[in-house]
Amino acid sequence: MRDGTADDQPVRRAGRVVPVYAVTGGRTRSAGKELPVEALVTVTHSGRHAADLQLEYRTILGLAAAPVSLVEIGAALQVPVGVARVLVGDLADAGYVAVHLPQVGGDGAPGPEILERLLEGLRARSA
Amino acid sequence: MDSVGSSYPVGGPPVTPAMSRPSPAPRPGPTPTTISAKIVVAGGFGVGKTTFVGSVSEIDPLTTEAVMTEASAGHDDLSATPNKQTTTVAMDFGRVSLDSDLILYLFGTPGQHRFWFMWDDLVRGAIGAVVLVDTRRLADCFSAIDFFEDRGLPYVVGLNAFDGQQPHRVEDVREAMSIDPSIPIVMCDARNRESTKQTLIALVQHAMAARMAAGARR
């Protein structure tokens, strides 16, 4: 079954006959999007219903049923994190996944509220 | 603030009344409900980085690869070296779910000069770093300390106790390494979950103090 997003599929249906680098068209960086390695990825509604995707994309959509980081995706696919970045960028462009950036302040560092929560969380685990 | 176990309403970021600082970060995701943060664990070869990550991680440490451009010679100054080639460096990482919507990632990174350009990617947005030190090989961690000093990233020094033994006193190590009194140096046992958690707590506290100090200077 195809829905309205089918035409936006990042990669045409194909068997895995090429290395992942070829899947990404040789790109190891998404245009204009330098996602941090800990950025979280979750599957969207349309991503859950995406059909005819290549294996790597399907694997990512499966992993992203729960929040999963770029670096975990890279490890699961056994590809460098730069390749995972490109694949996730493709899926995000197609609307199949949402990417959640870490919360940082204007200076690029995590804000005090995140530090507070980390501290609480670590202490709770120590109890 | 007691947010452990709580969940945030869909459609809005967590806002604590006492610290209602809006985050200017762009949000490609529609309803961000889970937050991630990262801490870097650095140090010389064989100092126990992977052990440290593994003892606190809820998953067995995973390895991922980062492809990077590397100078074919003269690793210390890439800009002066026109001949570059790509290389692949493995980094270990672990994951700690601190709450239903808060995930902490730990990255164990190689400590050599030649991997500094990878660190730039890693330290961007990081809470801070733990520099693990084997007191029998103090010099192995100097490049990591220099890097974090240079980048202004909060860090603590963890003296890893091999075989449960730490023959050196903290203040002796501080003096031997010329580490500023403002930088915490803690004893730790990378194999011990409680010990690694205490080291991470020391780092987060130090990062909070560093932020407050920076805010006071502004």
pLDDT band at B45 (very low <50, low <70, confident <90, very high): confident
Q: What is the pTM of this model?
A: 0.77
Greatest alpha-carbon span in chain A: 52
Q: How far is CA A53 from CA A15, A18, A19, A101, B211, in A?
A: 10, 15, 16, 25, 45
Query: Do A71 and B121 lie within an 8 Å CB cutoff?
Result: no
- Whether B138 has its CB under 8 Å from any CB of chain A: the answer is no
CA nearest to A66 within chain B: B34
B-chain residues within 8 Å CB-CB of A111?
19, 21, 23
Lowest model confidence (mean pLDDT) among A20-34, A44-58, B79-93: A20-34
Greatest alpha-carbon span in chain B: 54
- Whether A80 has its CB under 8 Å from any CB of chain B: the answer is yes
Average pLDDT of the residues in B28-57: 84
Please indicate, yes or no, if residue A43 is contained in any of the structural domains. Answer: yes
Average pLDDT of the residues in B117-128: 83
- Whether A99 has its CB under 8 Å from any CB of chain B: the answer is yes
CA nearest to A121 within chain B: B98
- Give residue B113's pLDDT: 60
For residue B109, give every residue at least 6 positions away whose Cβ sits within 8 Å of its Cβ, in sequence order, or none: B40, B41, B42, B49, B91, B115, B118, B119, B122
Please indicate, yes or no, if residue A1 is contained in any of the structural domains. Answer: no
For residue A120, the 8-state DSSP code is: H
Candidates B3, B62, B201; nearest CB to A75: B62
Q: Examine the pLDDT at A9 and tell me if it is beyond 80.
A: no
- Whether A65 has its CB under 8 Å from any CB of chain B: the answer is no
Distance from CA of A1 to the nearest CA of B (A): 26
Q: Distance (Å, rounded) from C-alpha A48 to C-alpha B91?
A: 31
**Structure-token pair, residue B102:** 């808060």
Q: Distance (Å, rounded) from C-alpha B110 to C-alpha A36?
A: 19
A-chain residues within 8 Å CB-CB of B28?
92, 98-101
First-to-last CA distance in chain B?
A: 26
Distance from CA of B90 to the nearest CA of A (A): 9
Highest mean pLDDT among A19-33, B33-47, B70-84, B114-128: B33-47
Query: Do B93 and A71 lie within an 8 Å CB cutoff?
Result: yes
- Give residue B2's pLDDT: 40
Q: How far is CA A109 from CA A104, B9, B211, in A?
A: 5, 25, 9
ipTM: 0.78
How large a percentage of chain B has pLDDT more than 70?
70
Candidates A71, A102, A125; nearest CB to B37: A102
Count of domains for chain A: 1
Please indicate, yes or no, if residue A116 is contained in any of the structural domains. Answer: yes
- Whether B89 has its CB under 8 Å from any CB of chain A: the answer is no
* Residues A42-53: tens digit of each pLDDT: 999 999 999 899
For residue A42, the 8-state DSSP code is: E
Range of the domain at A15: 6-126
Candidates A82, A92, A116; nearest CB to B66: A82
Q: Distance (Å, rounded) from C-alpha B131 to C-alpha B128?
A: 10
Candidates B30, B99, B197; nearest CB to A117: B99
The answer to whether the beta carbons of residues A51 and A57 sit under 8 Å apart is no
- Give residue B83's pLDDT: 53
- Whether B32 has its CB under 8 Å from any CB of chain A: the answer is yes
Q: Examine the pLDDT at B56 and tell me if it is beyond 60.
A: yes
3-state secondary structure B163-196: CCECCCCHHHHHHHHCCCCCCCEEEECCCCHHHH
Q: Distance (Å, rounded) from C-alpha A123 to C-alpha B205?
A: 11
Q: Distance (Å, rounded) from C-alpha B203 to C-alpha B206?
A: 5
CA nearest to B205 within chain A: A119
* Residues A89-127: tens digit of each pLDDT: 999 999 999 999 888 888 888 989 999 999 999 999 865
- Whether B120 has its CB under 8 Å from any CB of chain A: the answer is no
pLDDT band at B115 (very low <50, low <70, confident <90, very high): low
Nearest to B157 by CA among B138, B167, B95: B138
**Structure-token pair, residue B148:** 């974090």
- Which one-letter amino acid corresponds to residue B89? V
Q: Examine the pLDDT at A59 and tell me if it is beyond 50.
A: yes
Q: Distance (Å, rounded) from C-alpha B156 to C-alpha B142?
A: 13
Query: Do A71 and B67 lie within an 8 Å CB cutoff?
Result: no
Q: Distance (Å, rounded) from C-alpha A102 to C-alpha A108?
A: 10
List the domains of chain B with CATH numbers. 28-217 (3.40.50.300)
Q: Examine the pLDDT at B158 and tell me if it is beyond 60.
A: yes
